[in-house]
Amino acid sequence: MPFSMAISKKMSTSLNHLVGFRISKADPSLFIFHTGPHTIYFLLYVDDIVVTGSHDQLLQSFIDALGHGFDIKDPGPLHYFLGLQVTSHSHGIHLNQVKYAHDILTKHDLLLSQPVSTPLSAKSLLSADDGILLDNPTVFREMVGFLQYLTITHPDIAFAGNSVSQFMSEPRVPHLIAAKRILRYVKGTLDHGLFFSPQRQPVHLSAYLDADWADYPNSRRSTSGYLIYLGSNLISWCSKKQPTIVRSSAESEYRSLAHASAESTWLAFLLYELGAHIQFPISLYCDNLSATYMASNPIFHPRTKHIELDYHFVREKFRL
């Protein structure tokens, strides 16, 4: 067992059984401790931790007690975690990955490149068969891996990153050009990130979803995408190719509706564990009338039986 994993397991056991923390049911890396009106949240990722709480003295006492059993360092307020830079303001918190993005651009000799205004060209449609195979596909794969991690604070490149990641097995020259274009876009948006401002309780959870029907030319699979907001704060997003081919735009939109429903349900439960008061119902915004009719109409049409599982999942959430 790697040393860092051994520390993680030992700390997890100590928190759960000795200190009195309970493991979150929504996220196994999150531990929650309640005592009276005060709460401590402990987030563990291998051997990196983030601790916060509602009472400064109680929090410091816990950190001191943790230091007796583990060799830990307390750098003070959170500024940097797993490549994310955290800047606290009087009116909120800003997350970005400026250093991480700067390192990517430097590694691929694009730091002095000309920025572009969009991550993907509107005219180009990537295909698995166009162009010459790359002599060294490792460079492309590393680049796409970096871009995937960069989407943690750059939801604006999620769709573009998903598009180039379709060609990891046999990347070609046009795919590398597209990946470099995304980095050139990142070059012009280095200071972009996510800002989280305090929200008045109770807050509303809302999801905006869409689908790009049969957009992938080699398999004609669709792409699902959604954005989920807690009040005015963007907290979750996704752009992902659907696992099966669908035969109508309504079906592709409905699958996106199912994915957004599942994610927002999980987030609602996580927020409940964190003590946030959510105003129900959760709002789902979809621009496809057929998909919204299927969600609200109890009559199931024979031509849509192949999406019955997603249908009943959304219907169940719709009734709550």
Residue-level pLDDT at 271: 92
Q: What single DSSP character describes residue 119?
A: S
Answer whether 204's CB lies under 8 Å from 136's CB: no
How far is the C-alpha of 265 from the C-alpha of 318, rounded, in Å?
Answer: 11
Residue-level pLDDT at 7: 44
- Mean pLDDT by 10-residue block, N- to C-terminus, for the chain (320 residues)? 43 63 88 87 84 86 77 79 88 93 94 92 81 93 95 94 92 94 94 90 91 78 92 93 81 89 94 88 88 70 57 68
**Can you list the pairs that 132-139 forms with residues at least 24 positions away whose Cβ atoms lie under 8 Å?**
132/172, 132/173, 133/170, 133/171, 133/172, 134/171, 134/172, 134/173, 134/175, 134/176, 137/170, 137/171, 139/108, 139/176
How far is the C-alpha of 303 from the C-alpha of 70, rounded, in Å?
Answer: 60
Q: What is the pTM of this model?
A: 0.84
Please, what CATH class does the domain formed by 199-319 belong to?
A: alpha beta
| Number of alpha carbons in the 13 Å side-chain half-sphere of residue 188 | 14
| Cis peptide, bond prior to residue 281, ω within 30 of zero | yes
Answer whether 163's CB lies under 8 Å from 122's CB: no
Angle 186-187-191 from CA coordinates, rounded to 5°: 75
- Give ranges for CATH 3.30.420.10 in the chain: 199-319
How far is the C-alpha of 269 from the C-alpha of 283, rounded, in Å?
Answer: 15
Q: Which amino acid is at 241?
A: K
